Structure 1
Amino acid sequence: NGTAENRGKSPVRKPLSLDFYLSSRQTLDASATHLGSHKLSMMEAGSHSPFETQVLVPAQVKDGSYYLLARVDPKGEVVEVDEENNLLIAQGRILLAPDLVVSELKSELMKEGSRVSITGKVKNQGNRPVGRAFSLALFLSSDGSIDDGDLRIAVQKVEGLAADSATSFSLNYSLPEALGPGSYFVLAQMDSEEKIYEWDESNNIYWGSSLTLGPDLAITALTTNFSKDGRQIVVQDIVKNQGRYSVKQPFKVSYSLASKEVSVSSGQNLGSREVSTLSPGEASSATTTFPVGSFPKGAYVVWAKVDAEKAVLDMNRANNESRSDEIRIGPDLMIGGLATTLLPDGEQVEIEETIKNQGTLPARHRFQVAFYLSMDDRLDGSDRLLGNRWVDGLEVGTESRGKTVVPLPPKTEPAQAFVWARVDPEEVIGELETANNTATAGRLLKTDVDLVMGQLTPALISNGEQMVLTDTVKNLGPDAIPGSFSVAFYLSRDGVIDSKDLLLGERRVEGLKAGTTSSGTTTLAIAPEAGTGKLSILARVDSRNQVTERKETNNDYWGSSIHLGPDLILTELKGEVASDAHEIMVTQVVKNQGNRVTPTSFKGAVYLSKDIRISSDDLLLGKPVVASLVPGAASTARSAFPIPPSLENGKYTLLGQVDPDQEVSEIEEVNNDQAGGEFFLGPDLVVEAIKSTLSPEGDRITVEDTIRNQGNRPTSGNLEVSYFLSRNWSIDDSDTFLGSRTVSRMGPGEPSSANTMLSLLKKKIPTGRYFVLARVDGGNSVIETDETNNIRPTLVPLVIRQEKEKK
């Protein structure tokens, strides 16, 4: 389709013939093939006649690239003012050829990775049939490109293919025993012997899905239960390697807690355990405990997932998950402390108690704590209710402390009476355990001595190997303490003194008068068994129970906390991408700025990310191992990591993480991440050189130019280089498009040079000085590292004159 124009001042009084030709050159000569003609009606002066017609390409025209030419009045039946402008060449070329592609390629491992099944489709998406047989070659490649190191699976013959038609293929292939574990790609190559002329030879290789040959990790058993105190989930599991390859590197088994209706990905992470290696057929069993967070009351399951980080080339990840039987979660109220004080009048008792919810759910309803008087050390129905207090619910892990004064029945002998407490006697709270809802403080005693801690201040010295403690003890009672007693100091992880805490040492106090204080400074060594992490400093006055007090519940004191352990940070992270983007060299500097040596070596992690935050969408490049670090020491490592060819082009940020698997217990865990520099993966097209020559007749321009891909990745598919005529060095709507040339796939650093002859419509171009500009990838079909360097002008302008000015 197009438009014919009568530019003359006289009308055309008879019909005209408009003829069309195919030519391999930009000239109309005897080698051109006549396609057909179209009749134009009579045309008035200055008028236009649009046309649209279909022509048949003769079968004898060979496959190839052609120009379409149109000539009006080819027999010269009309006398014209200018007979030289009757021929027009259409922009671009017409390609007549088949185009073979693999439109579909699927692969599946069978029989524990010993065989592979391959199916697919071959398509001719060109406009000409393939009239002869051609080959389809299938390869197994570890890097996604066909080379001498790949395993050729099969070569199949295809007996021709009509235009716009497809044919299917399938085969089963036994993998060699010597083939090592790893990730492989099934590649298909069309016309590997290059017998068929095609309009695009760059799309003959098809990259199918990847196959993983390696171990096969499966969870074969999983059971769960709660610990006796209800604070932990106990998980027992068995992981087995069912594949034919060994697992030679450590991997993790991760656990999460979820309601029965959701999948593993929606659950809350509990933690993990590590498995070092597994031979074929070998199994690893373990019992792992995890603290339980706050969950809605209900039924839950524990999900176990093996190798969630994909550290192992597992050939079958469908069996990497397993779900436990149902477990139930709820609150659990207990009496954590109970003390009684007989008031001076001998007729009332002051009761102090602490109620704690040690379950896994809050107690959301109001409940009471009831107090009873018993004449023996048992609580039963015969005991007398003294009083109660109410608690307005209790969150998980929190306490409610109360002080209640109740009257004693007349004629009660204190030395023979016991005071009991029972939490939630009406059972309004649905608990996991009710056996711990009662407690007694023992017999009522008369005493006027009361010891309390008034101050406890710690200070670390000697790089955290010792601690200086300053404390103050006071006797609040009206009576003096004649004998000596002890003040003990502990390191605790939960703020409550119990058998799990580490006793640091004691100081002795040689008696204490009524209302007076005793202060002391004690230097104590911190034993290695203190471990690492955030620890509380606790003190207990009269730790050996040498003094009988009227109140025993106020002897403990919680001082400030200290941090013991290493603290790992990344002080430097930088990377350098190879010229062809096949790998990145990363330099990391890891420092231990804590006060403890790291107990073992640990890993780092390096990622490529689209942003500056580490997430599951990022590409893990590797996990280099860092040797153990003493406090203040640093470790520098340079590692080369391959960049997968499948990683899409674009801008990436290098991210680093110290101890990603949390193998080291640190003072601070939130400072382990670090962002490095930004990198761009992809081609970068530039017009490296250009010069132009105007023909003596002034009717055409010859452009000699060189295009180069100065990026680090190849382009995909064909590119277009466009040429423009402009009065300046920039391209805008006022400039004249001259034509274009096509450039095939370009590798990193690869150039493309050409001489292109461009027809010049001289009647439409005013006289003047013009520059020729070349633009590569004007349609921005290629994502480049720099889109601003795609245009280059000639340095020397051309002088173009109108015909009449030449005369």
Structure 2
Amino acid sequence: TPDLVGSLNVPQTVAWQEQITVNWSVTNVGFATASATWSDLIYLSQDAQLDAQDILLFTQPTGEQTPLLISQSYSQTQKLVIPQTTVGSYYLLLVIDPDNQQEESNELNNIKAQPFEVTAADLIVSNLAAPDTVVWGETANISWTISNQGNGKAIADWTDTVYLSADETWDDGDLLLSTQNQEPLEALSNYTITTNLNFSDFALGNYYLLLTTDFNNTQQETDETNNRTTRPIRLLAPDLSVSSLTVPQLEISQPGQTISLSWTVSNEGSQTATGAWVDRLYLSPDGTLESSIFVTDVIRNLSLGVQESYTASTQIIVPDLPDGNYRLLVVTDALNQLIESPTGEINNQKASVAFEIGHPDLVALITAPLQVTSGTTIPLTWTTTNTGTAPTLSTWSDLIYLSTDTLFDATDLLLGQFNATETLYSQTSFEAQISWNIPLSLSGNYHLLVVTDAFRTVKELGAENNNVTTSAFEIKLAPYADLAVSSIMAPALTLGDPASVEIGWTVTNIGTGRGRTEQWRDLVILSSDEIVGNGDDQVIMQYIHTGGLDVGDSYSRHETILLPPTFEGHYRLFVSTDADKIVFENQLETNNQASATNYFDVVSIPYADLVIPTLTTNPTANSSDLLTVSWSVKNQGIGITNTSSWTDRLFLASDAEGQNIIADLGRFERAGALAAGNTYQRSVSVLLPNGLNGTYYIVANTSGPKEFIYTTNNSRVSEAIQISLTPPPD
């Protein structure tokens, strides 16, 4: 008969919930084949005997292993989980053919027992570290340690949770702060978790941190009551509040105005406010931040303790804003640089009482007389009105101009300036006046332009387009004088050193009126040419005339002028009246000067004037031969020559004008003075140069005595001479 026996292999220790591998084998040690079908069973038992208290873990039919021949065996492997039970010593029992389906020679060896130890984990929170206080909105460092104080491995995956609770008992109202998933932990081992938690979703106050390991009880333990611990924690935060805002009592303000204000900020929270923050000032039409206009920032760099306060002050310049009602608005910690409590931001701002912002608007008005006369002084009066909603804050200047049109530009003539130094309130006016001396030469149609606030010192906020006003008027030209010089008398020739001359002239007013100038200067001028004023003029005398001239009246002057020693020359004599152009003549000054009809000559002594009336010679000649030349010299001046000797000269020229001199034929001295009107004759033979052949001319010249201005008539050119080459000798 067959005989089935088994062997069993299990781990020495097994933890709750741990999956283990069980190996067993069955051998037929009998003397016949085991051909029946049976089952192998695995039990958990507290001893090596099978009884009713043992727990069946697994049943394995053996249909695939039979028939089992003599000495033949089979092996089986199965994964099992030991159920939760008391920790301690146990046995796994392999039971072969428990129902005796296979007849065997020995039924008592069908059970095989293998001892092992059952262990279990016990997770416990051994440490929870956290600060006693945390500032709301900030991050706090939290750490905890979980230990497995059981004798078995914690093999399940579990979760550690941290809740914030108002008490030490967890409920659904507590706020989850952190979840940490964990993996198996060996017996008598631990782990530490460190994390940063943010506290910003709840109100300030006293709380508890609730730390629970294996929150969902996924890990079977010997003690489930030690998985949680608590720690008190307090949440703090500063809370800045603008408790007061002080501004001056303003009836009306305006752009550009300086306003002084102060405000107080208190810390009504439970934590000191540290670091720097910004108090920001706005102007708001309705006192809300949404519609406000930024004005300035004030930086706070000092800490502010709990229930402490500070008062800050500054000056602001009102920006350019449309007219209307506004409020000053101060916002502390405007950039949210501080972390305040959940409700701590709603009291960070405060608005002042409403006040009005307006602006001045200056408008000038001038009415010019319809017609004025040039050369008179008239008052110019205008009115400046503040048509705006606010008074002026600064001084300003009104400028008055003369213009040919109604447009103010750089071509207009500034007549005067009025500096306004008094405040001009809304809807009030003032009158200003200047005196204007109308230039005598001015006439025609003009406009007076008043430019109020010409230098833009008053902030009118876009209302400057009405700062210019105009008024048209006519300037009538006043009667004017027109001085004309006439009847100039001057000698044509004066002898003397120094010479004395008699000069006379007449000045007549041929204008439309007497004019306004009662004195002017007449000049007697000598010019070397026909032009006065080109640099060669000499003023030989000036006379001051006093007394105006009615239309058609005149004055005549006859003056004896002693000229300087050695003075002489050939001139034109001019008389210029009103030489300094101080008499207004309506641009009719061209007749202010005239000249004598004759030249004005001055010489110190009577002068000679030598001329050559005749010059004769042979019409033909040979080169290298002598040529006879005869000429006469006449003194056609007004006096005897001032010297008794001088030189006559002869030249040979190749042109009829005597300009191209080709030979100097000789110098011939004159001995004896020559009286006015007298003549002397000369005849000489001169040697012609060799090699001449052609037409030539004799040029005679005399010079030496003083001849005044008559020095260009001292030469004469002969008739043409045909000169031939000298025939060669035989």
The TM-score, its normalising length taken from structure 2, stands at 0.30
The TM-score, its normalising length taken from structure 1, stands at 0.28
Structure with the greater alpha carbon radius of gyration: 2
